[in-house]
Amino acid sequence: QLAGLAVIAFGLWLRFGGPMAEFATDKKSPELFFMGLYVLVGAGAIMSAVGFFGCCGAARESQCLIGTFFACLLVIFAGEVTAGVFAFIGKKVAIQEAQKIYEDAYEDYMKNPVGKVNSTIYRYHVALQCCGKGNVEQTGLPCPENIQLPKASNCLVEIQNVIDTHLHLVGIVGIAIASITIFGMIFSMILCCTIRNMREMI
């Protein structure tokens, strides 16, 4: 249950906190990346619910509940592996989607550097701590204060770095969840067998 709640909190933080949240506030967003986060939050919610039923089964010494607990963990484990493979394969597409969002905002700003478009491009720059696309056209862009140019001038590179970092975090959390799930399946089967042997002895 605690692991499930931690996964939910982690997924929500990635979704609504940090630089990636800025992409979600616009009309367009990197759907592939956020889809993976929704799967992560869903897996955490299922883990919490399954953990509760597992506790009930252990307390009542019910083979049926413990067996159901094992089956649910097996499904969660299969889902985690599938999501991990999907995230690994779709990483390049997610980066391209996020970069396209910034490039669209950049082009809109160049056409009309006032009003809402101005605030949108500035919000991206503050979140990513970058300014422009690393070329001469960035002159006049709303850049964050105290930013070191030209080192942080290419926002497309920063977007790739941010998504790579976040996906690595998701991968680490996924491995941790998978490990907990495997141990849960092992101990649930041991407990189920122990309960059955005790009843046969009685």
pLDDT, position 25: 56
Contact by Cβ (8 Å): 44, 123: no
Contacts of 151 (CB under 8 A, 6+ apart): none
Contact by Cβ (8 Å): 35, 89: no
Report yes or no on whether pTM surpasses 0.85.
Answer: no
pLDDT, position 182: 86
Contact by Cβ (8 Å): 94, 33: yes
Q: What share of the chain is helix, strand, coil (3-state, %, to 5)?
A: 80, 0, 20
pLDDT, position 138: 54
H helices of 61-138, in order, are 63-111, 115-128
111-148 confidence digits (pLDDT tens): 877 766 667 788 788 888 888 887 545 556 777 777 76
pLDDT, position 136: 47
**Segments in the chain below pLDDT 50:** 136
